[in-house]
Structure 1
Amino acid sequence: MLLEIEDLTLAYGRIEALHSVSLHVAEGEVVALIGANGAGKTTTMRGISGLLSAKTGKIRFNGEDITGVRADLRVIRGICQAPEGRGIFPGMTVLENLDMGAYTRKDRAGIAADLDRVLTLFPRLKERRKQAGGTLSGGEQQMLAVGRALMSRPKLLLLDEPSMGLAPMVIRQIFDIVTEINQQGTTILLVEQNAQQALSRAHRGYVLETGRIVKEGTGQDLLHDPAVKEAYLGVA
């Protein structure tokens, strides 16, 4: 198992935002984590990437307990996140942003090969490679955030709300690329409010409500679950 989370509780000060959550992600999977605003999706991502320390519970990655490992060392181990809100460097060019994604690496040939891969995946970024990140459209900035994360050559890619604020046509394009990245061999944990797109692309999924997992199943099972359809897909 690539990622195993066992009874993870996360808190902001005295306020618990995640309560004894357990989930797993196998190598090669796309796993979706869906839920309403405030359900604890981004908090879960912050716990996995090491930006928020565990109050209780365990996180194992590639068989190693990483619960107490610093965030930067988790990147080196192969966990990288494209954060909610994109978090690109607006004053740096597209290429400079992508370079930042490879800051933990020293293999120049590998970095060059991955840059070619990212620019092939995202032709729009290739066209705009010398532009400042802050001048890109929302969809292009999302592509840049994903591309930058790929430059660390992750074993596990964490995608936090990649469709947020994007037009429907751009959302489909982003999810097509997510599927392609997975088919090229990258395991993905995907946090999304767009349950329709997330579950239709995911091998498995979890439903998070007020910091607790209330359902899990295959993407297709959750997509056709009456309670999920009513709560997240707008279908009664």
Structure 2
Amino acid sequence: MLLEIKDLTLLYGRIQALHGISLVVNEGEVVALIGANGAGKTTTMRAISGLRPVAQGSIVFDGTDVTRMRADLRVTRGIGQAPEGRGVFPGMTVLENLEMGAYTRRDKAEIAKDMAMVLDLFPRLAERRKQAGGTLSGGEQQMLAVGRALMARPRLLLLDEPSMGLAPKLIQQIFEIITRINEQGTTILLVEQNAQQALSRAHRGYVLETGRIVKEGTGQELLHDPAVKEAYLGVA
């Protein structure tokens, strides 16, 4: 397995956001983490990437316990994230934003190859490579956030709500790109409110409710689970 979370507990002050959750992501998988607003999905992602300290439990990545490791060191080990809200640098150009994704790397020739790969994956970014990130549309900024994360050459890519605020046509395009990224060899942990799209493309999934894992299974099992259909797919 590439990522193993065991009995993870996380606090926001006196509020317990995660209640001893456990999950596994195997190499080569797309794993979806679905749930309502406030369920703890983004909190889980921030714990994995090192942006939130954990109270109890462990995070093991590729056999190494990274629970207390600094966030930047987790990036160098192979954990990349496209955060909720995209977080592009608005005053920097598209190319400068992408270059920031490779700030931990020194292999210039390989960085150039990855830049070409990202611009091939996102032709819209290639067209706007000299444009300021803050002037891009929401969909373009999402592409930029994913591309920037890919520039770190992650083994595990954390995608937090990649379809948020996008038009249906762009949502379909983003998920097609996610599938393509996975087929090229990147393991993906996906947090997404669009449960239909997420579970349709995931090998496995987990359902998070009020900081607890309440269901797990293959993407297809969860997609056809009556309780999941009623709660997250709008099917009574």
Is the TM-score greater than 0.5? Answer: yes
1:33 partnered with 2:33: yes
Superposition TM-score, scaled by structure 1 size? 1.00
Superposition TM-score, scaled by structure 2 size? 1.00
SS at match of 2:55: strand
Q: State how far apart, in whole Å, the 1-side matches of 2:139 and 2:227 are.
A: 31
1:186 partnered with 2:186: yes
Tell me, which stretches of 5 or more residues in structure 1 are unaligned? Answer: none
1:196 partnered with 2:196: yes
1:89 partnered with 2:89: yes
The corresponding residue for 1:138 is: 138
1:79 partnered with 2:56: no
Q: State how far apart, in whole Å, the 2-side matches of 1:109 and 1:13 are.
A: 45
* Structural RMSD (CA): 0.3
- Residue by residue over 1:187-233, the C-alpha shift from the partner in whole angstroms, topping out at 9 and shown as x without a partner, is 00000000000000000000000000000000000000000000000
The corresponding residue for 1:111 is: 111
- Equivalences for 1:42-57 in 2 at 5 Å? 42-57=42-57
The corresponding residue for 1:230 is: 230
The ranges of structure 1 where at least 4 consecutive aligned residues each deviate by more than 4 angstroms after the TM superposition are none
- Residue by residue over 1:26-75, the C-alpha shift from the partner in whole angstroms, topping out at 9 and shown as x without a partner, is 00000000000000000000000000111000000000111110001000
Shift of 1:14: 1.5
**Residue identity in the other structure for 1:171:** I
**Residue identity in the other structure for 1:20:** G
The corresponding residue for 1:13 is: 13
**Residue identity in the other structure for 1:35:** G
Shift of 1:13: 1.3
Q: State how far apart, in whole Å, the 1-side matches of 2:45 and 2:10 are.
A: 11
The corresponding residue for 1:68 is: 68
Q: State how far apart, in whole Å, the 1-side matches of 2:78 and 2:142 are.
A: 21
SS at match of 2:208: strand
SS at match of 1:54: coil
